[in-house]
Amino acid sequence: MKITDLLKKESIELNGNVQTKEEAINQMVSLMVKGGNIQDVEIYRKGVFAREEEGTTGIGEGIAIPHAKSDAVKAPGLAAMVVPQGVDYEALDDEPVHLIFLIAAPNTKDNVHLDVLSRLSTLLMDDSFRENLLKAETPEEFLGYVDQAEKEKFAEEERKAKEEEETARTTGFQILAVTACPTGIAHTYMAAESLEKKAKEMGCTIKVETNGSGGDKNVLTAEEIAACQCIIVAADKEVRMARFDGKPVLVTKVADGINKPEELITRALSGSVPVYHSKGGEEETSSVEGESLGRKIYKSLMNGVSHMLPFVIGGGILIALSYLVDGANAGTADFGNGTPLAHFLNLAGNTSFSMMFPILAGFIAMAVGDRPALMPGIVAGLLAKAGTSVFLPEDQWIASGFFGALAGGFIAGYLMVLIKKLLEKLPKPLEGTKPVLLYPFLGLLGISAIMIFLINPPLGAFNTWLNNSLAGMGESSKILLGIVLGGMMSIDFGGPFNKAAYVFGTASIASGQFDIMAAVMIGGMTPPIGIALATTFFKNRFTKSERQTTVTNYIMGLSFITEGAIPFAASDPLRIIPPCVVGSAVAGALSMAFGCGSRAPHGGLFVIGIIENAPMFLVALVAGAVVTMIGIVLLKRPLKEEA
């Protein structure tokens, strides 16, 4: 949707005279009303201010783009105002705002405001375009500059996109790809974007399916698979593979999709990628022949982690909220359950949280032994959680916890592989009894015996020792633990070290070690914020494209999405990774030293209301980010020419 289709001359003010941010927004709403897009002014106005409370829309460079998606909007619209003398809009760069665009979007699933916001932000990156808008003398001239910029910027892109779409429609895509990471939040989409961008540069057509946390998007069709030359599977968790039978398939890490897109696409087009042959079954996943045992184990673990995280995050935040709303009962036995609302939140959260170990073990087992292993794996997780033992009375059972569930998941998976191997010679008339009778019976019997007699006793003792050791740690030991965990969150930005520290933090919540989770979360928040500070205050050390990610990195860091640091680390690892590790280690150590704690396993700044000793948590975060910034600035020299 073109900007000039939404922006009417009645909604343009070229000599805005406002003194405050609130006055500016009110003036913008009035301009929007003149365009005839609003059916309830007050509801829309509240929506704009509510969005502003989430974070300023003053994006820097003298620009603000407030927006609201509301039932009060009849049709998408834009309003614009030039403020010659500038207004303090609380912008991210603390500079006055001279150019304001207001977006109105109806409350539909189309998310028009995001499309307009993206299109508008792209245009406003051009300095000459902004200067033209600021010097426009009439609304018609203002609209003319917008129209000209849109034609120059998007016309060629739209033409090429149509040509590529038509080519793909008639001849099929040359390359198909699937991207997936354990959390399905950042790496998944960054790999997809990297592959799409590089394919466009190389002049080939590609379609990428993303297996994200919100479900599979852009799913590959049977016709597209049949017509393509090669398929790239860049994933750190299991991906359905049976559909690719008979096609060349290149399986690699999701990090390669981000950092090595040209290499992957070149190999995909070379004709040398081996053809994938399915062993049969819809549940067949991306563990292919030739893959190392370590890689298979890692992907199986990440399959369990990725399915576990929604239960942990959702449940953990609800439990934390139950304590927040039940502050009057703090210190009592009823804390967290003292009011009906608190009891509801606590019950719902604990129900979800209690599924952590069964889901982890179940989906690890499924990744190893396919669908028949799911049930034994879930039972292994339940037995690890309960600590069942036939040697002790029930009141003396010791849960083997996270480590028991981890071991139980892999054992259940490989146990099912063994059972299937042993039953291969079963007479054909009995083949149908395998999935409905023999697999469930033998799997349940075997894993129950292994967990109760072999796993729970030693790992239960180890789990008890570990929890007691963590609880009894002195101040210096906790600070050291904070250094290690915080630093691990920044070694590989969402890779194995990062995930190991995060899973340890979430498992610690179950045993009441909330300070560990706080150190882990702050360690993951620090790198993007530190990089954003460096690009804000030391612009001469970064290219123009790197500086354009500043706002995104602030948002990702505050949201506890460490992956915002990946593009910088990939392009200059020796000058980015060490400062990030040191900054995260400092933040983790300070969080431990200040006694901060988090019952929520995710959320970053958005769960600050339920962080224990929140003020000092913020101090630790700022300190770690500043250390990161200083380290980067000391290692990176100013660019000779601004790129």
Orientation of helix 293-325 relative to helix 401-422, angle to 10°: 140
Which residue pairs from 346-351 have beta carbons closer than 8 angstroms and sit at least 24 positions apart in sequence? 346/318, 346/319, 346/322, 348/315, 348/318, 349/314, 349/315, 349/316, 349/317, 349/318, 349/319, 349/320, 349/321, 349/322, 350/315, 350/319, 351/315
Locate 341 and state its tokens: 């609302």
Cα(45)–Cα(38) distance, integer angstroms: 10
The Cα 615–Cα 80 span in angstroms is 38
Which of 98, 113, 181, 602 is catalytic? The answer is: 181
Q: How far apart are the first and last CA of the chain?
A: 31
Judge whether 187 counts as a catalytic residue: no
Q: Where are the alpha helices (DSSP H) in 387-438?
A: 401-422, 433
- Listed in sequence order, the DSSP H helices in 474-513 are 475-488, 496-510
Assess contact for 78 and 7: CB atoms under 8 A: yes
Name residue, tokens 């508008």: 120
Instruction: Give the containing element (helix H, strand E) for 178.
Output: strand 175-180
Six-digit token string for 600: 């929520």
Q: With contact defined as beta carbons under 8 Å apart, do 308 and 359 qualify?
A: yes
E strand map for 222-376 = 230-235, 249-252
Three-state DSSP class for 252? strand
In this structure, are residues 167 and 204 in contact, taking their beta carbons and an 8 Å threshold?
Answer: no
Contacts with 559 (C-beta within 8 Å, 6 or more apart), sequence order:
603, 604, 605, 606
Q: Which two tokens stand for residue 561?
A: 């999405």
Give the C-alpha separation, 519 to 419, whole Å.
43
The residue annotated as part of the active site, out of 67, 98, 187, 307, is 67
- Dihedrals φ, ψ of 248, to 5°? -65, 125
For residue 83, the 8-state DSSP code is E
> Residue 596 catalytic?
no
Q: What is the largest CA-CA distance in the chain?
A: 88
Question: For strand 215-217 and strand 206-212, is the pairing parallel, antiparallel, or unpaired?
Answer: antiparallel
Rounded-to-integer distance, Cα 220 and Cα 373, Å: 27
Q: Do residues 177 and 206 lie in contact, with contact meaning Cβ atoms separated by under 8 Å?
A: yes
- With 0-12 / 13-18 / 19 or more C-beta atoms within 10 angstroms meaning exposed / middle / buried, residue 183 is buried
Give the angle 608-614-620 at the CA atoms, nearest 5°.
105
Q: Which residues are catalytic?
A: 67, 181
